[in-house]
A and B are shown apart, each in its own frame.
Chain A
């Protein structure tokens, strides 16, 4: 698709420097990036968080976030210099010639207006189309993006459609003025695998059809491999390397790139269940539980599985399949309406309020969002120290020693982190603190609820290795809730596949990953993006154009 013709050059960024204001001084965020984008070309920007991906993406529109400024370099869009253009002129460009698709469509749509009204806003405002033309065009775009009922879906409100549909509606909205450039900022990160495929396929099609140039920002290598013609790797505001997708995947030059590529290589040996005649009983045994929120629809239907000491059971399924609800039943936050949960053979009271302190201590939880799981106003030493104090009655010097031990255990330097607050830490460090808090209770069982899904791959791998090491030394049992099958492959011993509140299949990992599968397991497995640039194309050929994503499951 890409041509080297100089006339085709749409976006030319030279030596771009961006600074952010913090603590009364300007700190460099992006240190001199060069970037060329031709018409119809898709450039992938990848890197871990804080690499400056989104900042560069926004700068390509001549925009900076609050508290940031472009301090040097030039951004030329179609021959126009954006850094020196007045704001009123820039506003005319944005929406009409440059569009932006944000990570969270749910947060970016105005919940008070219908999708189509938001869609037609910019074409009508810029006098590109009349209202009726624009509406007709919206329906056509919805159809091209394979949204169900394209004639009708636009007249719904954002909360009335699913996450994947909303993300596609946003892509359609970005297309409304037929822009020359679209910036996709992690459009599929918040979606689960089956939905992700639909969005990826839709975005790729539409970009190709209208010959739109795009910058695709993500931290998922496998995704960028499907989407981009060229890939640029960033690290802490500097360019690491740039090459076309095939070269980049097969022969990365820099060590950092190689380390990114190697992340998915972590595997641990699979453990087997103790044999039936050894007489060992499972640590946690979920036996035929049903659950519902309030008097509403049943969200869990006869869910049963066992978790043995020292083993990891991965519970997989797309969002809404009841994974987290099962966890809430085990912890007692949502008392099941039927069935029992046994802990070391002993029946647990359904509600956590009725459980003894020791029963509460035995089962701990690590959360997906470390940001909301750690109280931002409490010091690290108190966050970790509180469970130790609460359950074991430690105080004074003993408590301090215990907290330092725990910090050592999660590989954070005690002297450095003891007195800090959670907002001062990075995402990976916060997640480690979350793990330490769980360990402080000296549990025998830990529920890990999507613990790595909010993290970059390098950081996530570090967390997985840590969890694995802790399991080996402390003999912990894990229930690992995830929708990322790569994680399952690396850490699980047994897999439970859930769909619509039911367990569709369960068994040891190797068995689960070898065919024949249950149809739904197969769909989940085949939807995980692979590092092969042709993977999506081949998958779409296999499944057929109208039979991808959710549709394929039915």
Chain B
């Protein structure tokens, strides 16, 4: 009995079989990918990868795939993101293997371009938030006193406003250009990074080597860059991964509400909204961009978990 026959007679069993097969494929792919990395990477990198769990290899593999899709989108995607090539909601055929969206654009191409837009903006916004948050956090921890208090309380004020409502408010005031979007997200997320950095750096600044550097007469910038930052890197990198997911989800949420990335730019959040009507017809099309979002989130978290495990020095 082949799979199609099975799916007709036992629909639920077939879902399980397919799901199981998918997981199996993912495991095998990550295993091969890890073996490949071990072979390709030089010295230290290969050693790190050899001890990495499969989930981490899977995460890295997915992130890499997304990065490739985002960077080379115009060459990978068969059509451009705004090109109308068929009728609205056309079913999948040999040209468009995911079918068309509500305006007749190729959904597959738009998913590929979405990787560039959604992920790209999330990455820029997170990096900016991290830059601002980490810098202020390090200064607050190193300087202490009233500077620290002033910064920490301002951060508390920003954090006390629910992020989605705050961003909606700011977006309606300043309009919905991409730069405004990035700045707003950076402002909303910087306080979270600030709090973490300040806590982590706070543990470092009490060490004797910082005292020794202060007594040497070193300036603030040297202390931050050479003495404190190298010792607080690990949790910050892990936090970057987590915050990236939140930022990504916030952008998708904003786009879904119509205030994020504006059409015709392809974006996974707005794609879910635009095609949402199809769900009532039993089509899975709107779920594909949603799946792309969740897959990336899962992948990033796998990698972050692994990094946290490594930096915490836990053995069992």
Write the residues of chain A forming the contact surface with B, with a CB cutoff of 8 angstroms: 21, 24, 66-67, 331-333, 352, 355, 357, 360, 365, 367, 369, 372-378, 386-387, 390-391, 437, 441
CB closest chain-B residue, reference A438: B212
Q: A332-B215, A365-B212, A372-B209 are in contact. Are A378 and B226 (CB under 8 A)?
A: yes
Contacts of A390 in B (CB 8 A): 216-218
Ranked nearest first, the 7 interchain pairs of A and B with the lowest CB-CB distance are A377-B230, A66-B315, A373-B208, A375-B209, A67-B315, A372-B208, A367-B208
Could you give 10 example pairs across A and B, Cβ below 8 Å?
Answer: A365-B212, A365-B215, A373-B207, A373-B208, A375-B226, A375-B227, A377-B230, A378-B226, A378-B227, A391-B216
CB closest chain-A residue, reference B316: A66
Write the residues of chain B forming the contact surface with A, with a CB cutoff of 8 angstroms: 47, 50-51, 207-209, 211-212, 214-218, 226-227, 230-231, 314-316
Q: Are A333 and B208 in contact (CB under 8 A)?
A: no
Q: Are A360 and B209 in contact (CB under 8 A)?
A: no
Q: Are A377 and B315 in contact (CB under 8 A)?
A: no
Which residue from B207, B230, B316 sits with its C-beta under 8 Å from A372?
B207
- Complex Cα gap A355–B215 (Å): 10
Q: Are B208 and A360 in contact (CB under 8 A)?
A: no
Contacts of B316 in A (CB 8 A): 66-67
Which residue from A24, A332, A374 sits with its C-beta under 8 Å from B209?
A374
Task: State the majority secondary structure of interface residues on B.
Answer: helix
- Complex Cα gap A378–B316 (Å): 28
Contacts of A378 in B (CB 8 A): 226-227, 230
- Complex Cα gap A376–B51 (Å): 23
Which residue from B208, B214, B215, B315 sits with its C-beta under 8 Å from A369?
B208
Contacts of A357 in B (CB 8 A): 217
Q: A24-B51, A375-B230, A375-B231 are in contact. Are A333 and B217 (CB under 8 A)?
A: no
For the A-B complex with A333-B215, A352-B215 known, give 19 more contacts whose Cβ atoms are closer than 8 Å.
Answer: A24-B51, A66-B316, A331-B215, A333-B211, A333-B214, A352-B217, A360-B217, A367-B208, A369-B208, A373-B207, A373-B209, A375-B230, A375-B231, A378-B227, A378-B230, A387-B216, A390-B218, A437-B212, A441-B216
Distance in Å: Cβ of A426 to nearest Cβ of chain B: 18
Contacts of A24 in B (CB 8 A): 47, 50-51
Contacts of B209 in A (CB 8 A): 372-375
CB closest chain-A residue, reference B218: A390
Q: A390-B217, A437-B212 are in contact. Are A376 and B231 (CB under 8 A)?
A: yes
- Complex Cα gap A360–B115 (Å): 55
Contacts of A352 in B (CB 8 A): 214-215, 217
Contacts of A369 in B (CB 8 A): 208
Distance in Å: Cβ of A440 to nearest Cβ of chain B: 10
CB closest chain-A residue, reference B47: A24
CB closest chain-B residue, reference A440: B216
- Complex Cα gap A387–B226 (Å): 13
CB closest chain-B residue, reference A355: B217
